[in-house]
């Protein structure tokens, strides 16, 4: 069926938790999906929900269970240009959505920085992105239909059912199957890219001023993980509004540019310090060269995604994400820098974004306005390699918690239960909510089993 499902053994893209399951079933029609749950219940089997399986910690499967693969349940059901909304099935990817919106002169408000993920998966982890004005994804969801574990279908929105809305948003597929969703979208626009270098110490004041600038719609930053400039060198990329008309050229969606070159340089940086220094040098030069160029909103959201599909028999790339209150950033970076100089964890990249305070999810990761640091690591697949990396990442989580920060849950579960509870004090309440809606635990995952106890 795919390279992540062979001989009844399933994996996610991290390829660290191979697990034998009973079967995988493709969701295609609502009645058929209802029957998949009904038949699993009849057979005494647990159900997990999967999209593209980029959640890396066993969120999408469970031993000897049924995996409901939603990627075929992906139709665009309607666009309302007047209301600026799009109605889609949950297996649609952001690429599908952008291809439907672009001809209408519309664009997504919030999505991940890559467009390969399903909207149902994005809701389940409550994503955020480069947009600095529209907060997390939850704020652009009008409503969704949810197939509950008891077999009933309910229309959920934040006004009529605020409790269930908060549970499902960032609920990791544990409260039911998201069937379809209406998203509030916005106008596609032409932006001017502005890039510059910013120091670590001035970054908090830079972020505060950025948020207050009405002309800046999106922004992100990168900080060096290269040995020569480790956590010292930063550049920022901003997207400013213009009066440039959205002509056909701007409206056309771009594909990945030079993915082979990016892949080759990243591969070199996985193996050598020289590769890390070279990649940072070329990356910085390239992004700074984009200053004053023009790009549409849709295309500004279409980053390269090939690096997320890394496959190797001996090692793997894993993601982690840390959230830090804005004013803690300089001291946090100094502590992380000191840690990285002593530790030999293979850190490949740090991308930085702004995240507004968010209470739309029971498991909110942004308890105040925060800076998000998305880390890409590489490590071996053998047990001792994973355990070694786990210890290193747990130390990074401890540093994050010391600075009143939090960490994100869609990735490999390196964190201890104590760390999770410190980061997500509502987790026990989340478990109780889960028991309320699914008392027989028909829907579960390896991730939930690890942390619920």
Rounded CA separation 448/340 (Å): 30
Name residue, tokens 């969703």: 181
State pTM to two decimals. Answer: 0.95
pLDDT digits (tens, 9 = 90+) for 270-297: 999 999 999 999 999 999 999 999 999 9
| 261 — pLDDT class (breaks 50, 70, 90) | low
- Cα angle: 236, vertex 238, 241; to 5 degrees: 170
Q: Is the pLDDT of residue 346 over 70?
A: yes
CATH fold of 76-157+169-187 reads 3.30.465
| 258 — pLDDT class (breaks 50, 70, 90) | low
Q: How far is CA 159 from CA 156, 162, 187, 281, in A?
A: 8, 6, 25, 49
Quick one: tokens of 222? 């990168």
Rounded CA separation 428/447 (Å): 15
Quick one: tokens of 238? 């901003």
Assigned CATH for 5-71+431-452:
3.30.43.10
190-413 has CATH 3.30.70.2520 classification: yes
The domain spans of the chain are: 5-71+431-452, 76-157+169-187, 190-413
| Segment 352-381 mean pLDDT | 95
- Cα angle: 338, vertex 224, 113; to 5 degrees: 120
Helix (H) or strand (E) holding 355: strand 346-355
Rounded CA separation 255/134 (Å): 25
pLDDT digits (tens, 9 = 90+) for 74-102: 999 999 999 999 999 999 999 999 999 99
């Amino acid at each position: 069926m795919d390279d992540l499902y062979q001989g009844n053994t399933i994996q996610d893209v991290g390829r660290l938790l191979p697990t034998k399951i009973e079967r995988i079933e493709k969701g295609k029609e609502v009645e058929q999906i209802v029957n998949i749950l009904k038949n699993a219940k009849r057979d005494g089997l647990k159900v997990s929900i999967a999209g593209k399986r980029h959640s890396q910690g066993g969120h999408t499967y469970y031993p000897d269970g049924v995996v409901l693969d939603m990627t075929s349940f992906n139709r665009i059901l309607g666009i309302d240009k007047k209301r600026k909304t799009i109605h889609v099935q949950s297996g649609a990817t952001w690429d599908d959505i952008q291809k439907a919106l672009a001809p209408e002169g519309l664009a997504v408000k919030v999505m991940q920085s890559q467009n390969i993920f399903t909207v149902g998966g994005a809701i389940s982890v409550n994503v955020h992105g480069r947009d600095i004005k529209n907060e997390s994804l939850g704020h652009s969801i009008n409503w969704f239909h949810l197939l509950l574990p008891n077999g009933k279908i309910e229309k959920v929105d934040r006004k009529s059912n605020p409790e269930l809305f908060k549970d499902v948003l960032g609920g990791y597929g544990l409260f039911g199957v998201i069937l379809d969703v209406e998203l509030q979208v916005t106008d596609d626009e032409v932006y001017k890219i502005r890039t510059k270098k910013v120091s670590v110490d001035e970054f908090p004041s830079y972020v505060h001023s950025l948020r207050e600038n009405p002309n800046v719609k999106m922004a992100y930053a990168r900080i060096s993980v290269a040995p020569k400039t480790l956590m010292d060198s930063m550049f920022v990329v901003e997207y400013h509004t213009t009066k440039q008309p959205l002509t056909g050229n701007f409206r056309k969606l771009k594909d990945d540019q030079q993915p082979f070159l990016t892949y080759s340089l990243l591969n070199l940086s996985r193996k050598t310090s020289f590769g890390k220094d070279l990649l940072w040098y070329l990356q910085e030069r390239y992004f700074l060269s984009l200053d004053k160029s023009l790009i549409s909103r849709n295309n500004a959201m279409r980053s390269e995604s090939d690096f997320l599909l890394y496959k190797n028999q001996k090692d793997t790339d894993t993601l982690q994400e840390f959230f830090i209150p804005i004013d803690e950033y300089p001291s946090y970076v100094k502590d992380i820098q000191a840690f990285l100089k002593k530790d030999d964890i293979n850190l490949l990249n740090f991308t930085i974004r702004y995240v507004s305070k968010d209470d739309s999810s029971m498991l909110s990761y942004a308890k105040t306005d925060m800076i998000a640091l998305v880390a890409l690591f590489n490590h071996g697949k053998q047990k001792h390699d994973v355990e070694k990396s786990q210890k290193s990442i747990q130390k990074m989580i401890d540093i994050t918690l010391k600075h009143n920060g939090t960490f994100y849950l869609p990735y490999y579960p390196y964190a201890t239960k104590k760390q999770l509870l410190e980061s997500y004090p509502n987790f026990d309440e989340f478990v109780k909510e889960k028991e309320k809606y699914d008392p027989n635990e028909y829907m579960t995952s390896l991730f939930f089993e690890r942390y619920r106890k």
